[in-house]
Amino acid sequence: MRIETIYQNEGHKWIFIGRDEAETEVIDTNQYAIINGDDVFLMDPGGAELFPEVMTKLSQIVDIKNIKGIFSSHQDPDIISALPYWISLCPDATIYCSGLWRGFIAHYGHEYIANMVSVPDEGIEIPLGDAMLELIPAHYCHSSGNFSLFDHKARVLFSGDIGGAVIDGHYPLYCEDFQKHADVMKPFHQRLMPSSEALMRWVKSVRKHRPSLICPQHGAIFRSEDTESFLDWLYDLEVGKY
């Protein structure tokens, strides 16, 4: 598993942890952390199976006790089943997730609800030091209670499953050939995304923010002109046919 800085400007940066090259049946996931000064914020920190390696990598560059927030874009186990382990290390961290999944998250341990902010459908803003993070509605893409996260200071968007692709641990970190990568993304989106209208609504919302990087929870990161190529492709994609 690799760890890499994908954005940095003075004391504000984004860290990628992922690309597990071990051959298992565990779907490959991208974990991200925002570091602003001493404060750390995790996004979809991963499943229980990957926790030891993700935590070890992250602890090489930050003090785990400085984790102030943990964002779960939705309820799937590949993004949040490691929650009990993270909270055991940083018990004061705030968990952000759609209020729709509050009772589901409680199945990981009822005590975690005390740390949870139930995000309303319209989204919220979260301060991280002098940075502002915004949770953008992404409902039905693919989860009925789903959010993306935009970092206004870095202009980086964490898109969750939107932009995802089923890949292996040897796949490039960044999208290198958009048309080829679109062929990899297409079956993932056409099977898991139920609503073209919902995707179009999300694209319109995201375009207002003009992200410089779009970071999905599976697959490759989009940068430069590929961010627009991805949004154009997604806007025209027909899904929900299954």
pLDDT bin (cut points 50, 70, 90) of residue 112 is: confident
pLDDT bin (cut points 50, 70, 90) of residue 159 is: very high
With a cut of 70, say whether residue 189 has pLDDT above it: yes
Sign of the Cα torsion 213, 206, 12, 77 reads negative
Q: What is the pLDDT of residues 77-97, one digit of tens each?
A: 999 999 999 999 999 999 999
Residue 181 resides in a domain: yes
With a cut of 90, say whether residue 15 has pLDDT above it: yes
Average pLDDT over residues 147-169: 96
Give the helix ranges, DSSP H, for 60-150: 77-80, 83-89, 102-105
Burial class (CB within 10 angstroms; exposed 0-12, middle 13-18, buried 19+) of 21:
exposed
With a cut of 80, say whether residue 157 has pLDDT above it: yes
With a cut of 80, say whether residue 227 has pLDDT above it: yes
Q: Quote the number of domains for the chain.
A: 1
- Show the domain range for 159: 2-236
Residue 31 resides in a domain: yes
CATH number of the domain to which 150 belongs: 3.60.15.10
